[in-house]
């Protein structure tokens, strides 16, 4: 087995650095390696681009994260805070910033697109419920709500101003009170407010604050009671629609990695097919440079394919189903899943090697085609019918039959004279 693997590796490197069985110079080899790296980087870039073509679960259900944040919020005024945040005031008012209900990652400067724009250039559609959610968000920013929010901001600014005055007066009141206790004359005081006057102003401001806070609570209730606000809050409280969003997101997240790998496979397989067929054609027609380049392309295209196969074995839906089954059997013993992957992935890797060895790099299949076309069974160069050795690579074309001892074709399963099975040197 090891000798066969060693011969395969040697054959691989010989094909990768020889033209017509002659080694290429180091400068040309460096150029080929640089070209290989450039192509490999572009292949991975193409794989990344095509993996983004299917619409991701986050873009299919863009309203889910904000919906969950609202449902998990336990604050008493969560309805008011959300509505107030969604109301966009004009440039003369005090803007509360961009609405958090639309994912901030989709903003570009002062412009933000709609949820419908998320599907542009992608395969898939945004959830209809999220489009309804966005319409409800936009409806909240109504003129009536803007007016109420503007009054709330004005009253809140007045309350803050009164509180700031009280803080300043209290500082002077404490200092004035100490001066009076110490018996200091009024004309020598550094404060402009007497203690009695300070108390009166603080009490007056406290009454003004209480009055405005009552008005503020009324306005907050009025803000969340408008038809637009109630329609939006009713949507957020709808368990049926939220469950549709959440279940759809879970399904999309389950299948999305496998869908990505499927499209990446569609990207790679035509490249591998073209490179393989061009390589075979170039070998049959003795196009040395084309054969070398197509062989390198074939190897380069196979590298990400093997990588994606192992990635599918790590993250694909089959693995997810297997993990769920093992969790059902063994409960919390998740480390058993790692044991299974450690044992399973090398076995699958060995199976991939055997597949390529049997169907792609199978010497027997290549030899049968080459004998029919009168080509060397080793280098595929054109030879004459009676040549015992290849004049190009000196490889022996025949071997002695173990039964009749006549010369028969090498690497073919039966003797051409007596039909006896022949040992295959693969």
Q: What is the pLDDT of residues 95-151, one digit of tens each?
A: 333 344 344 433 333 334 678 788 888 888 888 998 889 888 888 888 888 888 888
113 touches 106 (CB < 8 A): yes
Helices 227-236, 143-182: inter-axial angle, 10-degree rounding: 90
Which residues does residue 400 pair with via DSSP β-bridges, in sequence order? 407
pLDDT at res. 17: 56
Closest by alpha carbon to 233, among 312, 140, 117?
A: 140
Give me the pLDDT at residue 150, please: 87
Tell me which residues of the chain have a pLDDT lower than 50. 1, 89-112, 190, 426
Hey, how many other C-beta atoms are within 10 angstroms of the C-beta on 279? 22
Contact between 275 and 242 (Cβ < 8 Å): no
Q: What pLDDT shows up at residue 107?
A: 35
Calpha distance 56→260 (Å, rounded): 10
Are 209 and 177 within 8 A, CB to CB?
no
Contacts of 248 (CB under 8 A, 6+ apart): 60, 61, 127
Q: How far apart are alpha carbons 377 and 75 in whole angstroms? A: 79
For 374-406, give one letter per residue: b (16+ CB within 10 A) or e.
Answer: ebbbbbbbebeeeeeebebeeeebebebeeeee
pTM check: above 0.95: no
């Amino acid at each position: 087995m090891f000798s066969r693997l060693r011969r395969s590796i040697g054959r691989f490197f010989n094909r990768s650095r020889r033209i017509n069985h002659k080694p290429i110079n180091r400068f040309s080899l460096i150029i080929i390696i640089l070209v290989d790296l450039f192509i490999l980087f572009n292949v991975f870039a193409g794989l990344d681009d095509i993996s983004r073509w299917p619409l991701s679960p986050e873009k299919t259900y863009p309203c889910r994260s904000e919906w969950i944040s609202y449902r998990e919020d336990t604050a008493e005024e969560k309805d008011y805070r959300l509505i107030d945040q969604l109301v966009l005031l004009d440039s003369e008012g005090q803007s509360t910033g961009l609405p958090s209900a639309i994912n901030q990652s989709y903003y570009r400067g002062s412009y933000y697109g709609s949820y419908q724009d998320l599907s542009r250039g992608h395969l898939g559609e945004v959830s209809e419920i999220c489009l309804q959610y966005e319409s409800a968000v936009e409806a909240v920013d109504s003129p009536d709500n803007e007016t109420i929010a503007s009054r709330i901001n004005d009253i809140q600014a007045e309350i803050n101003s009164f509180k700031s005055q009280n803080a300043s007066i209290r500082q002077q009141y404490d200092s004035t009170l100490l001066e009076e206790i110490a018996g200091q004359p009024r004309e020598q005081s550094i404060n402009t407010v007497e203690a009695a006057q300070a108390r009166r102003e603080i009490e007056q401001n406290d009454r003004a604050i209480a009055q405005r806070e009552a008005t503020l609570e009324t306005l907050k209730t009025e803000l969340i009671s408008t038809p637009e606000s109630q329609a939006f809050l009713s949507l957020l409280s709808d368990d049926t629609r939220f469950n549709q969003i959440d279940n759809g997101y879970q399904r999309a997240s389950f299948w999305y990695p496998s869908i990505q790998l499927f499209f990446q496979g569609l990207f790679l397989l035509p490249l591998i097919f073209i490179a393989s067929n061009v390589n075979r054609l170039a070998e049959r027609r003795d196009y040395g440079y084309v054969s070398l380049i197509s062989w390198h392309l074939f190897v380069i295209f196979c590298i990400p394919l093997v990588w994606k196969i192992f990635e599918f074995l790590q993250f694909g839906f089959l693995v997810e189903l297997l993990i769920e089954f093992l969790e059902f059997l063994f409960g919390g013993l998740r480390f058993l899943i790692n044991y299974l992957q450690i044992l399973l992935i090398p076995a699958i890797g060995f199976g991939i090697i055997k597949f390529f060895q049997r169907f792609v790099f199978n010497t027997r299949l290549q030899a049968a085609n080459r004998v029919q076309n009168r080509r060397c069974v080793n280098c595929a160069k054109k030879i004459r019918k009676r040549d015992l050795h290849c004049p190009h690579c000196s490889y022996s074309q025949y071997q002695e039959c173990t039964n009749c001892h006549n010369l028969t074709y090498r690497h073919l399963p039966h003797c051409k004279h007596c039909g006896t099975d022949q040992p295959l040197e693969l």
